Structures are given as structure tokens and as C-alpha cells.
Amino acid sequence: EIVLTQSPATLSLSPGERATLSCRASQSISSYLAWYQHKPGQAPRLLIYDASNRATGIPARFSGSGSGTDFTLTVSSLEPEDFAVYYCQQRSNWPLTFGGGTKVEI
């Protein structure tokens, strides 16, 4: 099973600041990585797939990069609605696995 390790566990930032979230895979997963945003009481939302492709309707301030084992989600300038938990997910191998999440808080 591929283990995804996200860091940091918590990121404390202010609106307008840049957020940089990391996801590291236990083995190479090429570009088979996605990022999701999850707010309390809401359904998770796909932000990025195939490491760098924004999903439909996702603002341009969200960007993804990386390949192999190291991946980054960047939010260029945090909006109030961006404070949430972010998960990465790989589809390189079964079982599909998620990282433990990074909470972006004010």
C-alpha cells in the first residue's frame, strides 16, 4: 500500500497569505495525485487531479505541482473560504489511499 504523508499537520495563516502544503508518497506515483478540500459539514471537493490539473470551477489561486514522490498544493493568496482541511489522494496503485490531511487555520 502506498502511504501518503502530508505536512504540516496544521498551517496557521492569515487571509492574503500564501499557503504551501506538502504530500510525500512512500514510492513513486508518477503524476497520479489529487488534492481535495474538506470543510466541516460539507462534502469534500476535488481541487487538483493528475498533480497539476485544476478541476472545473476551481479558482486559479489553487495550483498543484510535483511528480514521483513529492507534491505541493499552493494557494497563492488565501481567501476566508479557503480555511479547511486538505487531503491528497493517489491512484497509482490499489488500494487508493489518502494522506492524513493538513488543516489550514486562521
Partner 1 sequence: QVQLVESGGGLVKPGGSLRLSCAASGFTFSDYYMGWIRQAPGRGLEWISYIGNSGSLINYADSVRGRFTISRDNARNSLFLQMNSLRAEDTALYYCARDLMGGRSSNWFDPWGQGTLVTVSS
**Residue 106 touching partner 1 (CB under 8 A):** no
Least spacing, CB of residue 69 vs partner 1, in Å: 19
Least spacing, CB of residue 44 vs partner 1, in Å: 5
Identify the bridge partners of residue 51 per DSSP, sorted by sequence position. Answer: none
Pick the binder of partner 1 from 15, 45, 60, 70 (CB under 8 A).
45
Whether the bond between 95 and the residue before it is cis, its omega within 30 degrees of 0, is yes
**Residue 97 touching partner 1 (CB under 8 A):** yes
What's the chain's length in residues? Answer: 106
Cβ-proximal residues to 57 (8 Å cutoff; 6+ apart), any chain: none
